[in-house]
Chains A and B, each alone.
Chain A
Amino acid sequence: MEKTLSFRKLWCFSSNKLEFWHNQRPKTLILSVLCGLLIFLLFTTALLMDDSGLSTQLTLRKLPPSLQYPFGTDWLGRDMLTRTTKGLCLSLQVGLTAASVSAIAALILGLLSAGPSRNMDRLITGLVDVCMSMPHLVLLILISFVMGGGTKGVIVAVAASHWPRLTRIIRAEVLQLKSASYVRLSAKLGKSPLWIARHHMAPHMIPQFFVGTLLLFPHAILHAAGLSFLGFGLSPHTPAIGILLSESMRHLSTGYWWLAVMPGLTLVVTVKLFDILGGGIRILLTPKSSQL
């Protein structure tokens, strides 16, 4: 197997065209840029879209997907495409805000935990253990219940429950860096801790943190959607994607499949875009894989 692999490599290098496609870097770059563009497009469409699709038109009730209404209309004659786009945008905002807050918390806690104080480390790792000891969804429900529901409740719940894993990663990374031979050598050579942090630690930590945050987004978006699906938070007047789906449950048994299929499919595609974007940027930024 080893042999076939190396033959293939040799063969690839002999031809320029093949080399381009077997080299992962341009492909990953193009894919990531495309995903970023699509996400940007979604946000601008949601902003530019007028609200006419949201008005009730009883003559156009329950139309299956057609060219004019690609996602069909609901039981009040509202255009599902408009509702889905707006709802998705809202869910994304909730998810992204919460994930960013969570990532910053993880950065601070992770750095504190890897810092000089042993007791601080014990406290933070203990907190991480406690938060990870119950099912994630139960923690989400508990926090959004405590916050009294609403959009704020969902954001706080998602933000307050996504930091433990990233905190662990950051803590481990800093501890590993602290004991790395070049860092110790640098300290022996008389460099100040601040200099070491800036020149030896930051180049490792910044991509790690950035990628960790990007990879939090899909989880956060899905959990925000799940919470609103379960009926926590967002009111029925603001059509978040979870609300659309839980509303559709009441109409499924009468055969209006598009009410559930279309918004859900859009959600899956969007989350997948974030996932590809995060994965691509990780490949490009991690030194081990960036040159493959």
Chain B
Amino acid sequence: MSVIQWIARFFLAKSLRFVILATAVAILSFTLVSFSPIDPIRAYVGTDMLTISSEQRELISKRWGLDQPALTRLFLWFKQIASGNLGHSMIFDEPVSKVIAKRFTTSLMLMALAWTLSGVLGFIFGSLAGIYKDSFLDRIIRWYAYTLASTPAFWIGLILLTTFSVSMDLFPICCARPPGIGPDEVTIWNHLHHLLLPAATLSVIGVANITLHTREKMIDSMQSDYALYAHAIGDNTFGIGIFHGLRNAVLPAITLQFATLGELFGGSVLAEQVFSYPGLGQATVLAGTRGDVPLLMGIVLFSCFFVYCGNTLADLIYTWIDPRMRKEVG
């Protein structure tokens, strides 16, 4: 089997699986929302509820198809999704797909920066802790990772905000760009300036997982026979770690980093709330608190797609980087 054939088959199988999964997720969330005690018309109209007549209510209900049975609504919804229409967001007054696309590009920079930072730092910390197991350094790194695992992301955000934005005045307090500047005039430095603190918030938390995982893998290879042999022929501990341990630890680390995109997404929801960063996370919270069902459903499906992409990439990279697996494929 040629490589191209293999890749084609891989993606076909993965896409098929995603369609099944997304259908299941859609059915589940549809069922949940249809059993909700929230009246969609009341959520839409808001405080003006008393001023509209019952005929007007019926008109809205008819226009939205609320008078039809749940199963018909589900099929109609599926038909719309299949043709690419996710609905119309009430709070942003725009098509849901447009809102998600716009918000996601804003979030993407934040998530990409945080993801890279936490991956690189976590791998370095984990490797050092694993190479020098039980040393003072290892103890500090382990303590840091375990403590950070029980720290809420939003609190870290608040601490960074008070320290660096309020006390030191180094970074802006909110938003994605300075006030009074249009989206076209923003420079990359402006962006980075606003991105850095939220990204740091996500990284400080995200480091923990990958550090502990890499440490385990590093300890495994430091206790292997080939490490013992290298020790016997006179290599020092650091050299063994770099030349024998690192390659073994990097693969699971990459896989893990791709598989934790869901946590990254969740973290970005909290971080964006703290820094009022206008990304997809903030849109999720707004959709939830203000009852924008189409947007919420769109985000549920999109986040599901995002996580699935992460897992698929992890699978693909696993086969691509590992020479043993590559031989099997090629």
Contacts and interface: CB of A to CB of B under 8 A. Distances in A.
B161 A267 contact: no
A147 B289 CA distance: 12
A281 to B, nearest CB: 16
B180 to A, nearest CB: 18
Given A134-B307, A135-B263, A129 B270 contact: no
Given A252-B162, A264-B158, A134 B25 contact: yes
Interface string A121-156: 000001001100111111001111111100000000
Interface in B164-218: 165-167, 173
A142 B21 contact: no
Interface of A: 1-2, 126, 129-130, 133-138, 141-148, 218, 222, 225-226, 229-232, 245, 248-249, 252-253, 255, 257, 260-261, 264, 267-268, 271-272, 274-275
Residue in B153, B173, B288, B304 with the greatest tally of chain A CB atoms within 10 Å: B288
Interface stretch (B31-39, B63-71, B116-124, B315-323): B31-39
A275 B147 CA distance: 9
Contacts of B289: 145, 230-232
A104 B231 CA distance: 50
B37 A130 contact: no
Given A135-B266, A137-B269, A252-B166, 20 more contacts: A129-B24, A130-B28, A135-B265, A138-B303, A141-B284, A142-B296, A144-B288, A145-B291, A145-B296, A229-B154, A230-B269, A230-B270, A232-B289, A252-B161, A264-B158, A264-B159, A267-B152, A268-B152, A272-B147, A275-B150
25 contacts: A133-B304, A134-B303, A135-B262, A135-B263, A136-B263, A137-B265, A138-B269, A138-B303, A142-B29, A145-B288, A145-B291, A145-B296, A222-B150, A222-B152, A230-B289, A232-B288, A232-B289, A252-B166, A260-B158, A260-B162, A261-B158, A261-B162, A264-B159, A267-B152, A272-B150
Nearest to A248: B158
B36 A145 contact: yes
B230 to A, nearest CB: 11
The 5 closest A-B pairs by CB, nearest first: A137-B266, A264-B155, A271-B150, A135-B262, A135-B265
Interface of A is mostly: helix
Contacts of B150: 218, 222, 268, 271-272, 274-275
Interface of B: 21, 24-25, 28-29, 32-33, 35-38, 146-147, 149-155, 158-159, 161-162, 165-167, 173, 222-223, 228, 231, 262-263, 265-266, 269-270, 273-274, 284-285, 288-289, 291, 296, 299-300, 303-304, 306-308
Contacts of B25: 130, 133-134
A136 B265 CA distance: 9
A249 B155 CA distance: 10
Residue in A225, A232, A264 with the greatest tally of chain B CB atoms within 10 Å: A264
Contacts of A230: 269-270, 273, 285, 288-289
Contacts of A222: 150, 152
Interface of B is mostly: helix
B36 to A, nearest CB: 4
Contact of A268 (B33, B151, B173, B223): B151
A141 B167 CA distance: 33
A143 B265 CA distance: 17
Nearest to B149: A275
A126 B150 CA distance: 29
Contacts of A232: 288-289
A225 B304 contact: no
A146 B35 contact: yes
Given A133-B304, A252-B161, A257-B166, A138 B152 contact: no
Contact of B266 (A2, A136, A218, A253): A136
B224 to A, nearest CB: 11
A267 B32 contact: no
Residue in A136, A230, A274 with the greatest tally of chain B CB atoms within 10 Å: A230
Contacts of A268: 147, 150-152, 155
Given A226-B154, A230-B285, A135 B303 contact: yes
A99 to B, nearest CB: 14
A145 B306 CA distance: 22
Contacts of A144: 288
A147 B291 CA distance: 12
A136 B262 contact: yes
Contact of B158 (A2, A130, A134, A252): A252
A141 B274 contact: no
A248 B166 CA distance: 13
Contact of A229 (B33, B167, B270): B270
A245 B147 contact: no
Contacts of B37: 147-148
A2 B229 CA distance: 12
Contacts of B288: 141-142, 144-145, 230, 232
A232 B269 CA distance: 13
A225 B296 contact: no
Nearest to A270: B150
Contact of A138 (B21, B36, B299): B299
B152 A226 contact: yes
